[in-house]
C-alpha cells in the first residue's frame, strides 16, 4: 500500500501580483502548507505528494520558485505533472532536480512508491486551456501497466477524462479521453485516475476505472449547468485530497477551511 497527498491548481503568481486580479495565491499556498503540517500527524504517514498541475498561474520563474519553497516545507517526495497554466520550461526549471523528470520533451514519468505504480502524464498544450494525451504518453502508460502487473496503479494527470457539466470548463477539457480509455483496456483490474483542473471534487468512471478530481488550493468553480451560467470562480471551498492504495483504500477530500471540533455526540 501507499498513501498520497494530492494537491492541485495552486496558481502561484510572482510576488506582488494577484491571480485573476484577486487571489494572493503565494500567501494562500503558504497558509495551506501550514495547515497541512499541523494535520499530518492526524492523517497518518504520507509517502509522497502528487501535484496535479497548474502550479504556476503566470509561468514566471518567481512563481515557480515560491511554489517549490512552499512544497518543500512538507518534507515529502514530490510527484508533479504540468497543467494548462504551466510552461514546460518553467516547470522543468522548477522540478528538474527530481531524477524522474525528463530533460526534454513531454513531462511524463513513472515512479514506484511502496507497492504502487504512479504514472504521471503530460496533457499540456502550451498556450491553450484544453489538454491532449499524445501517443508518446500513451505508449509510456502501456509499458508501465505491463510492468506493474497486478500491483496498485495510480494515473495522475491535470485534465480529467470526464465532463463536469460546467460549460466553460468542459470547453477546455481533455480532448481525447477515448484514447486513454483504449490505453487502459490492457489493465484487467481497476486502477484509479486522479486529476485537477476543474477546481472541485468530481467522481466518475472511465470504463472500469475510477476518476477523481481534487479541489484547488485557491478557488472553486460552482456546479452550475445552466446555459447562461456565469463564467468565473468562487473563493472557496478550497482543499486537497488523501489517497490510500491499500485494498479497500479510499480517495478522501480534505477541506482546508476546516471547522472547529471535534465535539461529542
With respect to residue 140, please indicate whether it lies within any of the assigned structural domains: yes
The C-alpha atoms of residue 47 and residue 39 are separated, in whole angstroms, by 15
pLDDT at res. 1: 87
Residues 6+ apart with CB under 8 A from 13: 19, 25, 26, 56, 57, 58, 60, 63
How many distinct structural domains can be found in the chain?
1
The boundaries of the domain holding residue 97 are 3-255
pLDDT at res. 257: 78
pLDDT at res. 259: 64
Query: Is residue 142 helix, strand or coil?
Result: helix
Q: Check which CATH number belongs to the domain holding 100 and give it.
A: 3.60.21.10
With respect to residue 114, please indicate whether it lies within any of the assigned structural domains: yes
Q: Is the predicted pLDDT of residue 264 greater than 80, yes or no?
A: no
Q: Tens of pLDDT along 157-186?
A: 999 999 999 999 999 999 999 999 999 998
With respect to residue 239, please indicate whether it lies within any of the assigned structural domains: yes
pLDDT at res. 141: 98
With respect to residue 264, please indicate whether it lies within any of the assigned structural domains: no
Beta strands in the chain (DSSP E): 3-7, 48-52, 78-81, 109-113, 116-120, 153-156, 192-195, 202-206, 209-213, 239-244, 251-255
Half-sphere exposure of 82 (CA within 13 A, CB side): 34
Confidence of residue 262 (pLDDT cuts 50, 70, 90): low
With respect to residue 36, please indicate whether it lies within any of the assigned structural domains: yes
The C-alpha atoms of residue 60 and residue 56 are separated, in whole angstroms, by 7
With respect to residue 165, please indicate whether it lies within any of the assigned structural domains: yes
pLDDT at res. 186: 87
pLDDT at res. 85: 98
Q: Tens of pLDDT along 114-150?
A: 999 999 999 999 999 999 999 999 999 999 999 999 9
With respect to residue 260, please indicate whether it lies within any of the assigned structural domains: no
**pTM, whole model, 2 decimals?**
0.96
Instruction: Determine the Cα angle at 34 with ends 108 and 159, to 5°.
Output: 30
With respect to residue 136, please indicate whether it lies within any of the assigned structural domains: yes
Amino acid at each position: 500500500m501507499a498513501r498520497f497527498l494530492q494537491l492541485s491548481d495552486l496558481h502561484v503568481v510572482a510576488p506582488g501580483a494577484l491571480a485573476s486580479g484577486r487571489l494572493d495565491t503565494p500567501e494562500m499556498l503558504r497558509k495551506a502548507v501550514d495547515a497541512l503540517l499541523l494535520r499530518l500527524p492526524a492523517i497518518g504517514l504520507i509517502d509522497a505528494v502528487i501535484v496535479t498541475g497548474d502550479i504556476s498561474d503566470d509561468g514566471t520563474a518567481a512563481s515557480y520558485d515560491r511554489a517549490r519553497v512552499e512544497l518543500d516545507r512538507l518534507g515529502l517526495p514530490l510527484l508533479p505533472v504540468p497543467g494548462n497554466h504551466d510552461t514546460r520550461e518553467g516547470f522543468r526549471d522548477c522540478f528538474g532536480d527530481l531524477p524522474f523528470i525528463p530533460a526534454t520533451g513531454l513531462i511524463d514519468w513513472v515512479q514506484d512508491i511502496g507497492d504502487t505504480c504512479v504514472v504521471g502524464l503530460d496533457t499540456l498544450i502550451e498556450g491553450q486551456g484544453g489538454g491532449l494525451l499524445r501517443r508518446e504518453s500513451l505508449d509510456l502508460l502501456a509499458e508501465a501497466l505491463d510492468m506493474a502487473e497486478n500491483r496498485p496503479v495510480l494515473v495522475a494527470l491535470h485534465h480529467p477524462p470526464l465532463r463536469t457539466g460546467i460549460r466553460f470548463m468542459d470547453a477546455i477539457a481533455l480532448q481525447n479521453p477515448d484514447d486513454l480509455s483504449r490505453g487502459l483496456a490492457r489493465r484487467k483490474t481497476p486502477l484509479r485516475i486522479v486529476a485537477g483542473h476543474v477546481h472541485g471534487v468530481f467522481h466518475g468512471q472511465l470504463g472500469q476505472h475510477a476518476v477523481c478530481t481534487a479541489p484547488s488550493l485557491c478557488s472553486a468553480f460552482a456546479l452550475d449547468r445552466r446555459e447562461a451560467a456565469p463564467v468565473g470562480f468562487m473563493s472557496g471551498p478550497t482543499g486537497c485530497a488523501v489517497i490510500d492504495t491499500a485494498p479497500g483504500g479510499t480517495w478522501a477530500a480534505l477541506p482546508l477551511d476546516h471547522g472547529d471540533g471535534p465535539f461529542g455526540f
